[in-house]
Structure 1
Amino acid sequence: MADVWLVAGLGNPGPGYAANRHNVGQMVLSELASRLGARFSRHKTPNLVAEGRIRPGAAKLVLAAPTTYMNESGRAVAPLLDYLSIAPDRLIVVHDELDIPFDTVRIKNGGGHGGHNGLRDIIKATDSSPFVRVRVGIGRPPGRQDAADFVLKDFSSTEKQSLPSLIADAADAVEAIVEDGLVAAQQRFHAPSP
């Protein structure tokens, strides 16, 4: 189905995790759903799913918020790819990224998991890694704080001031990939700031 993209926003289920840095992928998904005027509903796969188009005649976006924990993201994403008959090259995974400064969005096609358990499980479950990633920078933990603890904490009060802009930029990146293609989207989001 060439006119359909699956956009998976990674995170952990439940209100206790909703505002964690690790859940920024699902925050971006909520922004996209709002833009599309779409509502999430339970799916037969372990996902909450919403559908819509950026504009009339554009490709359909299927937004998926896995209801599994982060390290089991593949158990949610792979069956939905199969259900929709979509190849992994039509999958966009939106996730938090420690190795990118906070308030930065980067786009990558394929590659390894870089220690991200959600990506690791999706790569394993799909026997593939050539899917597009929208990497939402959350920065490194301060001092000697453990990375696992850092990602499971809410954004700081200072970060929360910029968070809506970061989420909007990441949603813009997803739309740019679908509308303009991967290379054009990368050129836009990787260009140095003026």
Structure 2
Amino acid sequence: MPAPRLIVGLGNPGAEYEDNRHNLGFWFVDALARDLKISLAPQGKFHGHVGRCGDLWLLKPSTYMNRSGQAVVALAHFYKILPDEILVIHDELDLPPGGVKLKQGGGNGGHNGLKDIQAHLSVPDFWRLRVGIGHPGDRNEVVNYVLKAPRKEEQALIDATLTRCLNAWPKLADGDYAAAQRALHVKAGTPAATP
């Protein structure tokens, strides 16, 4: 597998959205940027906050969630980054807080950010790092739910999962998605297998 060249964290711009469940992708990219000592700066032509380290790009779209594809495709086309070299980190209603799943392609599960990225790339072949936020139990409550901060105990589970994702980064950076999946897909409370 090719190593990822573009890491996209999904979220909404603006201080009022910072702690929302829907901004989980932004949280990860900010943490990864800190770890890799990459500074993110606004870049108008890429519609987002962008940072670079060698061949690796980090992107936080500033287009609002439902137009995320505009930012992704602008940067990917400019630097000739292929869909299977893109990793998108996003909140996932279908996984409990603390759950995580790394996969390539597939549907969008009604996630507006993924939907727009698929539409702009014309293929679903990019990688997704799906981090669970749980479901409110009622579809009519979803918008309200994702635009609120997690409860304290949920935040602790999400933070622990994001740390696991950061720990799996060296495997992801090498394009070793199978090893990253093994490290990430252990059940909560189970120690990860050591290589």
SS at match of 1:113: coil
Matched pairs, number:
187
User: What are the within-5 Å matches in structure 2 for residues 6-155 of structure 1?
Assistant: 6-43=6-43, 44-52=45-53, 60-142=55-137, 146-155=141-150
Are 2:192 and 1:191 equivalent residues in the alignment?
A: no
Name the aligned partner's letter for residue 32 of structure 2: L
Alpha-carbon distance in 2 for matches of 1:180, 1:61: 12
TM-score scaled to structure 1, two decimals?
A: 0.89
Contact 1:46-1:68 within 8 A present in 2 as well: yes
SS at match of 1:146: helix
Q: What is the CA distance between 1:155 and its match in structure 2?
A: 1.2
SS at match of 1:12: coil
Summarize the Cα distance change of 1:37–1:77 in structure 2 as closer, same or farther, 3 Å threshold.
same
Unaligned runs of 5+ in 1: 54-59
What is the CA deviation profile of residues 135-172 of structure 1, one whole-angstrom value per residue up to 9, with x for unaligned ones? 01101115676111110101112223334322222333
SS at match of 2:33: helix
Summarize the Cα distance change of 1:166–1:145 in structure 2 as closer, same or farther, 3 Å threshold.
farther
Alpha-carbon distance in 2 for matches of 1:89, 1:78: 13
Contact 2:101-2:181 within 8 A present in 1 as well: yes
What is the CA deviation profile of residues 87-144 of structure 1, one whole-angstrom value per residue up to 9, with x for unaligned ones? 1110000000000110122101000111100000000000011010000110111567
Name the aligned partner's letter for residue 11 of structure 2: G
Alpha-carbon distance in 2 for matches of 1:21, 1:176: 26
SS at match of 1:187: helix
Contact 2:3-2:174 within 8 A present in 1 as well: no
Q: Percent identity?
A: 39
The Cα RMSD (Å) is 1.9
Name the aligned partner's letter for residue 52 of structure 1: C
Q: What is aligned with 1:56?
A: none
Unaligned runs of 5+ in 2: none
SS at match of 1:16: helix
Deviates more, 1:164-173 or 1:66-75: 164-173
Q: What is the CA distance between 1:176 and its match in structure 2?
A: 2.5
Summarize the Cα distance change of 1:143–1:32 in structure 2 as closer, same or farther, 3 Å threshold.
same
Contact 2:7-2:86 within 8 A present in 1 as well: yes
